[in-house]
A and B are shown apart, each in its own frame.
Chain A
Amino acid sequence: MTERDRRARRAWFEGRLTPLLDRLYGTALRLTRHPDDAEDIVAEAVARAWRNLDELRDPERFEAWLFHILTNVFISEWRRRRSHPQHATEAETPAPDELDGADFTLFQQLHQPFLLWWGSLEEQFFNSLLEQDLQRALDDLPEPFRVVMVLVELRGHRYAEVARLLDIPLGTVRSRLNRARGLLQKALWEQARDAGILSPGPAAEASGTKGESP
């Protein structure tokens, strides 16, 4: 490769990479929860992407390809830590008390079948929901649930792909995802309630016993 080709290749790579950096870092941070680990993972993914750039068949798929590398870097690091329990920070299986609320649905708490004079609880909830509320709720999920949630909801991976990446059965992906969603929604509800954001009217007080189809 000539010097000129190399410079063009680097400029192309950098031009594609730069706009993705915040999302790469954000995704890595949601996966690891630790800024230092997230930076390591992003840097390793970028280095690996550069080394393997020839494997990228369709340049238009650069973003998906790079995020896929990021996920793989995270997963190999995750596996390595799990195989060295002294470095593991969290257990593979969440304690039962961590699962309290796994069947929770925010919708049941917020939904009102008709609009009330004080406005809609759903709107109140969404209007005051901050990025940091979502990030905190996600970060607080037990690790096995958080990882599946990030891969499916943030990265749009299919269940079969997640099962393959994490080397777990498809049914486990589903059950972790269901529980993760319940726990996340419960955490968001509690955050909103504690912050006094929701000023429930009579409908919300009655909603604790409301079924799926009132």
Chain B
Amino acid sequence: MNPRELSCEEVIARLFDYLDRELDDRQAAEIEHHLSRCRDCFSRSEFEKRLRARLADSAGQPAPPRLQRRIRRLLDGFDEA
């Protein structure tokens, strides 16, 4: 069965549900079908993906030496337990 044709408004309204993997297979296929044919919505989708990838990459932060020492002490304590 061919995917239902969605309007740009419908796709944009559900874009984050799609990117967050909240849609079922059929709904996701409808979005993908539209994205493969609509340059504006495809560009928007790529933009949001790129931004969220950068956000996820920013999650790491060097653990301060104080925390590293604290974890080391914890681990040493495990040995004695």
Give the shortest distance, in Å, between A191 (CB) and chain B (any CB): 13
Chain A residue numbers with a CB within 8 Å of B64 are 25, 35, 39
User: How long is the Cα–Cα vector from A40 to B74 in the complex, in angstroms?
Assistant: 12
B1 contacts the other chain (CB 8 A):
no
Interface string of B41-69 (1 = CB under 8 A from A): 10110011011101111111111101110
On whether the beta carbons of B47 and A122 are closer than 8 Å, the reply is yes
Q: Is the CB of A158 within 8 A of B21?
A: yes
Partner of B54 from A6, A22, A26, A129 at Cβ < 8 Å: A129
Could you tell me if B44 and A135 are in contact, using CB atoms closer than 8 angstroms? no
B3, chain A: closest CB distance, angstroms: 19
Task: Give the residue of A25, A113, A178, A212 whose beta carbon is less than 8 angstroms from that of B61.
Answer: A25
Separation of A6 and B75 alpha carbons in the complex (Å): 12
Question: Looking at the complex, which one of A7, A47, A138 makes contact with B74 (CB distance below 8 Å)?
Answer: A47
Are A50's CB and B78's CB within 8 A?
Answer: yes
* Interface contact B55-A138, CB-CB below 8 Å: yes
User: Taking A113-B40, A153-B55, A159-B22 as contacts, is the C-beta distance between A42 and B75 under 8 angstroms?
Assistant: no
Determine if B12 and A153 form an interchain contact, defined as CB atoms under 8 angstroms apart.
no
Q: Do residues B59 and A152 form an inter-chain contact, with CB atoms below 8 A?
A: no
Query: Any chain B CB within 8 A of the CB of A106?
Result: yes
Produce 1/0 per residue, A136-160, CB < 8 A to B.
Answer: 0010000000000000111000110
Contacts of A212 in B (CB 8 A): 8-9, 12, 40, 44
Contact A107 B48 (CB under 8 A): yes
What's the least CB distance linking B14 to chain A, in Å? Answer: 11
User: Quick check: is B70 within 8 A (CB to CB) of the other chain?
Assistant: yes
Which one of B41, B64, B78 has the greatest number of beta carbons of chain A within 10 Å?
B78
Interface residues of A in 98-130 (CB under 8 A from B): 106-107, 110-111, 113, 122, 126, 129
The reply to whether B16 and A214 form a contact with Cβ atoms under 8 Å apart is: no
Number of B residues, CB within 8 Å of A: 36
Contact A25 to B63, CB < 8 A, known contacts A111-B47, A212-B8: yes
Q: Determine which residue in A7, A35, A43, A153 has the highest number of CB atoms from chain B within 10 A of its CB, and name it.
A: A153
CB distance from B73 to the nearest CB of A (A): 9
Asked if B79 CB lies within 8 Å of chain A CBs, one says yes
Neighbouring A residues of B60 by C-beta, 8 Å: 22-23, 26
The answer to whether B59 and A23 have CB atoms under 8 Å apart is yes
**What 0/1 pattern do residues 39 to 81 of A give for CB contact below 8 A with B?**
1001100110010000000000000000000000000000000
A residues near B (Cβ < 8 Å) are 6-7, 10, 13-14, 17, 21-27, 29-30, 35, 39, 42-43, 46-47, 50, 106-107, 110-111, 113, 122, 126, 129, 131, 134-135, 138, 152-154, 158-159, 177-178, 181, 185, 212-214
